[in-house]
Amino acid sequence: GENVEQHPSTLSVQEGDSAVIKCTYSDSASNYFPWYKQELGKRPQLIIDIRSNVGEKKDQRIAVTLNKTAKHFSLHITETQPEDSAVYFCAASISNTGKLIFGQGTTLQVKP
């Protein structure tokens, strides 16, 4: 069935360092890959997304890469700041349904 695996489950970095979170999806029909940031007790917030016809997308300190052949996609955060500390979720979707299959989440801690 549809599945998204996310690693690592926890990640601790020093302020200013980079953070990388990786996901693997199972359904080759998936063509949309969003990343969400969720702070404690709040809703998931979309931070960046990528479609299957694009290999990389960047928005300021955040970038996402996609390897369709390997069914891998990754989130890269550069120059991390304490306010980046949160739980990050990757997801995969097939555009004709819009249904999102989420990874298990990565708790990112940025130490000042």
Partner 1 sequence: DTGVSQDPRHKITKRGQNVTFRCDPISEHNRLYWYRQTLGQGPEFLTYFQNEAQLEKSRLLSDRFSAERPKGSFSTLEIQRTEQGDSAMYLCASSMNQGVKGFFGQGTRLTVV
Our finding on whether 104 is near partner 1 (CB under 8 A) is: yes
In the chain, how long is the greatest CA-to-CA distance? 43
Give the one residue of 24, 25, 34, 84 binding partner 1; rule: CB under 8 A.
Answer: 34
Binding to partner 1 by residue 28, rule CB under 8 A?
Answer: no
Q: Which amino acid is at 109?
A: Q
As a whole number of angstroms, the distance between CA 101 and CA 15 comes to 31
12 binds partner 1 (CB under 8 A): no
CA dist., res. 59 & res. 111, Å (int): 23
- Residue 29 within binding range of partner 1, rule CB under 8 A: no
Least Å distance, CB 108 to partner 1, is: 14
CA separation for the pair 85, 58 (Å, rounded): 19
CA 28 to chain centroid: 18
The reply on whether position 103 binds partner 1 by CB under 8 A is yes
26 near partner 1, judged by CB under 8 A: no
- AA identity, residue 76: H
Per-residue string for binding with partner 1, 80-99, x by CB under 8 A?
---------x-x-x-xxxxx
